[in-house]
């Protein structure tokens, strides 16, 4: 069994309204890759958000009283604080330099996933542009997958990932925030290990494991490889969604 991850090199810069599926197919031609049934494409959220026009210029944002209070507590730009609040269900922790929220999509992350790096519009350098996460990453993944499958006739999976920190370890890792056509989790409870022991609690975060592997190739700065082709995923493809990966609040010991 082998797992092969291939970053799509020289992927073009994305502008609002771009056809990601078409651009992926064009870029696949460069390393002479052809999609096969069972393949997965992993996309960074940044290109999805850009294509969907999720760019916001901070000059268009008016901070609310709650945003002004959050900005005072954290030292963040009040306009950014306003966007964080708009994109969140709740602020869980706040201190100078950090805001941890429950994002409106249900997961816990810093700054509501709002990105301020490499997000300038039309090549213009400006720290005033910020990028929000996709409105519905599962839907975004499904739309890209549908176009790719319609063109190629192959049954594939598509996943959108972002870089998240973790409550119990240092460092960011690639994390799935949207998926279509592949499992979020693989439940191994009831199966046996090599010693014949029946597993009772093992549930594998398969999508997050693959997201972390793809993130190694995508990088975190100026690598310019926002799409990774995956072949050899060790679990059967099926319909999946972000909800599988979200821990219920009553089981979350870190809140």
pLDDT band at 204 (very low <50, low <70, confident <90, very high): confident
Least Cα distance to 134 among 53, 80, 61 occurs for 53
Which of 131, 154, 173 is the C-terminal boundary of a domain?
131
Q: In what order do the strands lie in the sheet with 108-110?
A: 88-95, 98-103, 108-110
Q: Does 94 have pLDDT greater than 50?
A: yes
CA distance 219 to 239: 28
**How far from 136 is each of 6, 103, 149, 251, CA to CA, in Å?**
26, 12, 20, 25
Domain count, the chain: 2
Q: Verify that 179 and 219 share a domain, yes or no.
A: yes
Render pLDDT for 138-194 as a digit per residue (tens, 0 to 9).
999 999 999 999 999 999 999 999 999 988 899 999 999 999 999 999 877 777 777
Q: Verify that 101 and 216 share a domain, yes or no.
A: no
Least Cα distance to 176 among 187, 184, 168 occurs for 184
Provide the pLDDT for residue 193: 73
Q: What is the dihedral of CA 83, 86, 87, 88, to 10 degrees?
A: 120
Provide the pLDDT for residue 120: 60
Render pLDDT for 47-73 as a digit per residue (tens, 0 to 9).
999 999 999 999 999 999 999 999 999
Q: What is the mean pLDDT of the chain?
A: 91
Q: Verify that 151 and 234 share a domain, yes or no.
A: yes
Q: Verify that 85 and 189 share a domain, yes or no.
A: no
Least Cα distance to 205 among 177, 245, 241 occurs for 245
- Is residue 243 within 8 Å of 35, Cβ to Cβ? no
Q: Verify that 197 and 93 share a domain, yes or no.
A: no
Least Cα distance to 226 among 162, 164, 175 occurs for 162
pTM over 0.85: yes
DSSP one-letter string for 3-27: -EEEE-TTPPPP-TT--HHHHHHHH
Helices 65-74 and 78-86 cross at an angle (nearest 10°) of 120
Structure tokens, 126: 């400006």
Q: Verify that 205 and 138 share a domain, yes or no.
A: yes
User: Domain range spanning residue 157?
Assistant: 4-54+133-246
């Amino acid at each position: 069994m082998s797992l092969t991850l291939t970053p799509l090199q020289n992927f073009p810069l994305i502008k609002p309204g771009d056809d990601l599926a078409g651009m992926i197919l064009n870029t696949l031609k460069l390393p002479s890759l052809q999609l096969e049934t069972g393949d997965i494409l992993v996309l960074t959220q940044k290109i999805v958000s850009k294509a969907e026009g999720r760019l916001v210029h901070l000059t268009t944002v008016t901070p609310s009283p709650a945003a002004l209070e959050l900005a005072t507590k954290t030292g963040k730009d009040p306009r950014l604080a306003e966007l964080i609040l708009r994109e969140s269900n709740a602020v869980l922790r706040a201190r100078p330099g950090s805001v941890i929220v429950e994002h409106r999509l249900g997961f816990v992350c810093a700054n509501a996933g709002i990105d301020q790096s490499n997000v300038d519009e039309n090549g213009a350098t400006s720290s005033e542009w910020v990028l929000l996460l996709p409105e519905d990453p599962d839907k975004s993944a499904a739309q890209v997958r549908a176009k790719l499958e319609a063109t190629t006739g192959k049954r594939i999976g598509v996943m959108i990932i972002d870089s998240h920190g973790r409550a119990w370890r240092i460092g960011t890792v690639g994390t799935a925030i949207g998926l279509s056509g592949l499992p979020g989790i693989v439940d191994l409870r009831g199966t046996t290990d090599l010693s014949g022991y029946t597993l009772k609690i093992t549930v594998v975060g398969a999508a997050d494991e693959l997201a972390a592997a793809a993130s190694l190739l995508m990088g975190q700065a100026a690598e310019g490889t926002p799409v990774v082709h995956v072949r050899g995923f060790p679990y059967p493809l099926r319909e999946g969604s972000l909800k599988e990966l979200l821990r219920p609040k009553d089981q979350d010991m870190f809140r």
